[in-house]
Structure formats: structure tokens, C-alpha cells
Structure 1
Amino acid sequence: MIWQQIIYIILALIAGGFFSYLGIPAGWLLGSLLFGIIIGLIYKKLPFEGLPFQMALAMVGTSIGFMMDQELFFTLHTYLFPLLVTLSLTLAAGLLFGWLMYKWTDLDILTAFFCCVPGGASEVISVSREYGADDRIVAAFHTARITFFVLVIPFAAGIFYPVIETEAQVNGSYTNLALLLPILFVVISLSIILNRKVKIPAGALLYSIFIGFLVGEFLVPLESPSYIAGIGQGLIGAMIGIRFDKVTLHRLKLIGLPSVGVIQLFFLFSLCLALIFFLLTPLPYMTSLLSTVPAGAAEMASTAFALQLEPTLVSSLHVIRVMVLFLVLPFLLKIILKIAK
């Protein structure tokens, strides 16, 4: 099994690197994601939960942290009100779409609701099991939703906001790898240890961004080559893509067309939500979309990093969104159970 995983990861990264070489938007992420979907559908699903996925999150988070500066903390508060508005609408939409799933399918109310909780997929799936929902259906729906979003949004973002490489990126003027790699290893290790000690939603991503920022800002000025973050994005894409396997497809078929309809509604809602955030902030529309779309903090932060669209801000807003969601989740459950009566 371990050799199959290693070979798969190598091939997925080659696919991601090739997409990036061709100039495809968010090529590392999309190339490995598509490769993973193909392998998952024609071969089999390989498990990459737990430590491997946490390492990939931390790798991307560390690269984002190295880019962060203190200015973000002085401007972040200006986005809190727009975030509160869009977050309230996102929670309301989750309730509405969960109710529609319940009415349109044979799913029980809790399973339908957890399918539409707009939070971190892995956290939602584990919590759904605790509340007695069918976590297999929940996992299948979230996998399909995130896969669809990660396929469509980076490509659309890249069309409207193409990446312009700087001279440093082209010529490879970066921090010495002999210095960078040990620091990268230490930051990733610390992030994973912290996430195990104090577990929070998107913890590995959040801790690595914060530690990377502290190291780069106060200890050693760092600038990592784009392929370092690209490899992290490729790992995330590979581990997400392989989840969309034959079993996932079969479970989605059991739900039927309503599941496709709800995913499309989620997407249209996200476009409208981004417009509201865009009107309330000075951010470009595509950055607003990446900041508000309920499609995973790591995935959207990776996309923002690849397209140079405020990755530190995007990741910060997503982490806040996911943490607030889990704080209000018990209240949302009470509401959905009352609706079902």
C-alpha cells in the first residue's frame, strides 16, 4: 500500500507540474486533482487522511506565512463586518439547502443537513458521525462539492486574473534552499504537533501560517520558490482528487439528481455571495470569491497563492469562517430539528 501511495503521489505531482508548466491557472492544484479523480474512478481509492494531509496543509500554510507581513493585522478588522454579513448568509443558505435535500431525497434530516453544512469537510464528516448522521453520504456529497468547486473556481480565476511572473520568479532568486528546507521542516512539524495538542478546524493550516509568519518576520527573512508551495498544492489536489472514487460516485447516484441540483445552487449562491463581499470591500471580485466560497480553507488558500490573489487574507477569512461555524453548529442543529418536526 505504501509503495502505491508513493508512486501515486509522484505521478500526481508530475501531472500538477506539467499543468503549471503549460501555464494552466493553479496548474499544480488542478493537474494533481484531475489525475487523482481519474485514478480514483478507474483504479481504486488510496487513503491519505490524517498525517499526510496535515503535512500538505502545513506546507502550503508555511509558504503563505512567509509571505505575510504585519500590515494584514492592521487591515483585517476592516473585513470583519462584510465577513459577518456573508457568513450569516452562508449559514442561512446551509439551512435552506439542507432542508431542500431533506425534501427532495430519502435522506434523514440530520444527514441532509450535514451534507450542506458549509464548513471544513473533514471536520463536518467526523462531527456528523457523532450526531448519528450517515457519514458515508455526507462524505460523498462534500467530496463532490469541493471537487467541483476546486475544478471550476481556479480555472475561472486564472482566466480573469492571469498570473504575471516577476523577474525573481523567472530567474529563481530565492532564499538558499539549504537554509529554507530545514526551517520549512521545523515549521511543518511544529504545526502538526500543535494541531494534535490543541485541535481546531483547519488547525494545521492556521498554525503553519502563524509560525511561518513569526519566523519570516522576526527571525530569518525568507522567500521560498513558487514550486515549494506548488508541491504543497499538488499534494492537496492529489489527496482530494483520489477521494472521488467509484464508491463516492455510487453514493451520489443513490441520492440522485437532487444532489447535483444542490451543488449547482451552492455554486450560484457563492457567486452572489462574492458579489456582496465585493461591494462591501475594496477587494477585486475574484479575491472576494476565493475569500467567501464555502469550498475549503486549504483549497481556496492554495488557489489564491497560485494566482497571487491575497493568499494570507483569503486563508485568514476562511479560518475565521470555519471556526465561527463550529461555534454555532449546536444552535444550527436545534433549528434544523425544529424545522423537521
Structure 2
Amino acid sequence: MSARRNFSFRDSAVPTQWAALIALTLLLSGVLIALRLPAGLMLGAIVAAAAISNFDGKTHVSSRAFIMAQAAIGGMIAQKMTPAILHEMARDWPLFIAAAFSVVAVSGLFGWLLTKWRLFPGTTAIWGALPGAASAMVVMADAYGADMRLVAFMQYLRVLLVALVASLIARFWAPGAGAGAGPLAHFFAPVAWPAFAVTLAVLLGAAFVAQRLRIPAGPLLLPLFVGALAQDSGLFALELPPRFLALNYAILGWCVGQRFSRAILLHAFKALPAILGSVVALIALCAGLSVILAAITHKDPLTAYLAMSPGGIDAVAIIAASAKLDLPFVMALQAARVLMVILIGPGVARFLSGAAPAASTMLAGDDDPAID
């Protein structure tokens, strides 16, 4: 408290605040990436922006930059919808739907319980528990009126814990897992500029069309579907350089972090035991579901476990590839789960929130900075 009273960015020039934000983001992200934590850049950006915001900083990210970040995330998910994954899903679609739905159902149950216990306002707990791509869930939760800040807190805590447990299990069963190159190995790889220009034009065009049409979460969803269709039809291959994705991860992190007020952080930490308990229970239940999946498909237990892992699709892909597992199977089920949550998430959130008592609104109306 005293540090907050003695130091403030209130009277600092905006360029100075941005310099502090970028420097702190690089420092925190570097530490997280060095520790091989998933989404390290985005997490570092969230913490940095939240810190600046809590010291009265005013480093707002423009709405156009926010739309670009959503389009990039949609394109990143579309890149994973390769023909091999789609073929795997089409061949055994009843199995994938049942397996993906079981994870979504278990996660929705935990979200409903957290809502029933009045730990979070509105549908926030439900969105925070849904096991989709974490960044996609944050964006969609905001579009559907949930508290983006608390959803981010729940989603990224789950991503970290799920990835940590999956990494430990993979290292136990497959000692070579994780020994390969990390996500920054090709950070400075040459860029196919013509393909990148086409990709950028298509994704941004789709995002701004969705924005003009006021499609809920459209700046993420429309680029995702357009990009996947263009790539899998052979029209063109999506080119998303790691440097471009890193920039957009940081932008999204700043958008989320700048909305973390002191009241939000205090409230989130008060609910931390319940969040941790729900994540641990979710991991355990998904591990139990993976035993059933392994018995039905005759896949090895580690492949089944990673396929049923509730979140962290990027981290799961890296672990599965380095452990030389059945990567198409793992990614097919992970992609099916992500798509299922994106498509039915709003309906699930509305249904579950209607089945739960009205949640506390103690955080409504706080003076969080808006995205301009």
C-alpha cells in the first residue's frame, strides 16, 4: 500500500509509461519463457499492464490494435486445422465429439458450481472454466458480457497448471519430451512476405467485416473460419511469423492487463483456493476420462492423456511432438474441443448461468479503463 501511495504514473508522460510497460513486459516475459511456461509473452504482458494500471498508468491499447490481435489469434487457430487433423476428425467423428463434449461438460459443471457459490459475477466463472483456447475464451467472454479480467485470471492459471502437469507426466513416461526446441526456436526465421501480406489482408479484412456487422466475437471467429477454409481448400497457406504472433500476444495481454484494477485482483485472490481446487479436480477427472479413451482407441496412455488435457493446445502440441506421440490424434481431439467450446460456449454459458442463482455483482461498475 505504501509503495502505491509513494509512486504513481499519474503525472508521467504517456511515452514514459509505454516505455515502462514495454520494458516490464520484456523482463517478465523473458523470465516466463526461460522457465518454458506456455503463453509466456502474453502472461508477461498481462502482469506488466496490470502493474502499470495499478500505479495509475494510462497506457490504453486502441480498438484497432485489439481487433488485429483477435484476427491473429483466429489465424493461429486456423493454422492448426490441417487436412491431417480434419481427416482424423472426420474418420472417427462420433468418438471425437463424445470425448470433446465430456471435457466441456465436466468443465461446465465446475463453472456452474463456482457461479452457484457466488464467487464471481454473472457468467464469468463459466467462461473461466470452459476449456477452449485461453485467448479465444478471454475475447469471447468479453464479447458476451462476462468479466474479461477474471476470465483471464482463471483461464491462464488453468493453462499454466495443465501444462505443468502434462509436462511432468510426459517427462516421466517419455524422458525425451521437452528436450526439443522451444516455441522461440524459429522466432527469427525468414518470412515469406507475399504470403504474409495475403494472410494479413484476409485476416484483417474478415475481422473488420465482423466488427462492422457486430458479430459477437466476430473479429476472432470470422478470421478463424475464413483462414481455415482458405488454407484447407488449397487457396493459400497461412503465413503467421512468430514475431507477428508475439506482438499480438503482447497486445492482447496489454488489453487484458490494463483492465485489472486493485479491487479485481483482491477479489480474484480471495477466490484463489476455489479456483485452484476446481483446476486440480478438472485435471484429475480428465485423466480418468483419458483411461477410458485409451481403452476404447487402444492408444498409449500418454497420447490419450494429452488428447484429453483440458487446455493449453499449444503446449500440448509441443509436448506431444517432442515425445513422439500420435500428434494428429492429440491435435484432432484438442481442436475438436476448442471448436466445440467456440461454437457452443455462448449457449452453454447462458444455459448454466440461468440454472444458477444470480451471482454477486460487487465488481460491477468499477472504474476499469476501457479499450479505446
> What is the TM-score with the length of structure 2 in the denominator?
0.65
More helix by share: 1
Match of 1:18 in 2: 30
Match of 1:275 in 2: 287
Q: What letter corresponds to residue 344 of structure 2 in structure 1?
A: V
2:345 to 319, 325, 336: 325
Q: Distance in 2 between matches of 1:29 and 1:232?
A: 9
Q: What letter corresponds to residue 14 of structure 1 in structure 2?
A: L
Gaps of 5+ in 1: 103-110, 129-134, 294-299
Pair 1:239-2:225 in alignment:
no
Deviation at 1:143, TM superposition (A): 4.1
Q: Distance in 1 between matches of 2:223 and 2:194?
A: 18
1:230 to 234, 246, 254: 246
Are 1:94 and 1:116, in contact at CA under 8 Å, matched by a contact in 2? yes
Are 1:115 and 1:141, in contact at CA under 8 Å, matched by a contact in 2? yes
Match of 2:200 in 1: 185
Are 1:66 and 1:213, in contact at CA under 8 Å, matched by a contact in 2? yes
Q: Distance in 1 between matches of 2:69 and 2:335?
A: 15
Are 1:125 and 1:139, in contact at CA under 8 Å, matched by a contact in 2? yes
Q: Distance in 1 between matches of 2:243 and 2:157?
A: 24
Gaps of 5+ in 2: 1-12, 131-136, 171-176, 322-326, 360-372
Match of 2:123 in 1: 114
- After superposition, the CA RMSD in angstroms is 4.1
Q: What letter corresponds to residue 205 of structure 1 in structure 2?
A: L
Q: Distance in 2 between matches of 1:316 and 1:336?
A: 27
Q: Distance in 2 between matches of 1:165 and 1:101?
A: 43
Deviation at 1:324, TM superposition (A): 1.5
Q: Distance in 1 between matches of 2:106 and 2:208?
A: 35
Deviation at 1:67, TM superposition (A): 4.8
Are 1:45 and 1:243, in contact at CA under 8 Å, matched by a contact in 2? no
2:277 to 260, 265, 271: 265
Are 1:275 and 1:285, in contact at CA under 8 Å, matched by a contact in 2? yes
Are 1:143 and 1:243, in contact at CA under 8 Å, matched by a contact in 2? no
Q: Distance in 2 between matches of 1:252 and 1:171?
A: 34
Q: What letter corresponds to residue 72 of structure 2 in structure 1?
A: M
Are 2:149 and 2:256, in contact at CA under 8 Å, matched by a contact in 1? no
- Shift in alpha-carbon separation, 1:338–1:250, aligned structure 2, 3 A: closer
1:101 is paired with a residue whose SS is coil
Deviation at 1:82, TM superposition (A): 1.0
Match of 1:249 in 2: 265
Q: Distance in 2 between matches of 1:260 and 1:20?
A: 21
Q: Percent identity?
A: 15
1:139-187, Cα deviation, whole Å (9 max, x unpaired) = 5543432343345445555565526239x955966552x2133123212
Please show how residues 1-341 of structure 1 align to structure 2 within 5 Å: 3=15, 7=19, 10-11=22-23, 14-15=26-27, 18-19=30-31, 22=34, 24-26=36-38, 27-44=40-57, 46-48=59-61, 50-76=63-89, 77=93, 78-101=95-118, 112=121, 114-118=123-127, 119=130, 120-121=137-138, 123-124=140-141, 127=144, 138=147, 141-154=150-163, 157=166, 160=170, 161-162=177-178, 164-165=180-181, 174-176=190-192, 178-196=193-211, 202-217=217-232, 218-221=234-237, 224-252=240-268, 257=270, 259-279=271-291, 280=293, 282=299, 283-289=303-309, 292-293=310-311, 300-301=312-313, 303=315, 314=334, 316-337=336-357
Are 2:139 and 2:217, in contact at CA under 8 Å, matched by a contact in 1? no
- Shift in alpha-carbon separation, 1:48–1:332, aligned structure 2, 3 A: same
Q: Distance in 1 between matches of 2:167 and 2:78?
A: 22
Are 2:187 and 2:241, in contact at CA under 8 Å, matched by a contact in 1? no
Deviation at 1:112, TM superposition (A): 4.8
1:117 is paired with a residue whose SS is helix
Are 1:15 and 1:32, in contact at CA under 8 Å, matched by a contact in 2? no
Deviation at 1:55, TM superposition (A): 1.6
1:34-69, Cα deviation, whole Å (9 max, x unpaired) = 433433444546444854333212213323434532
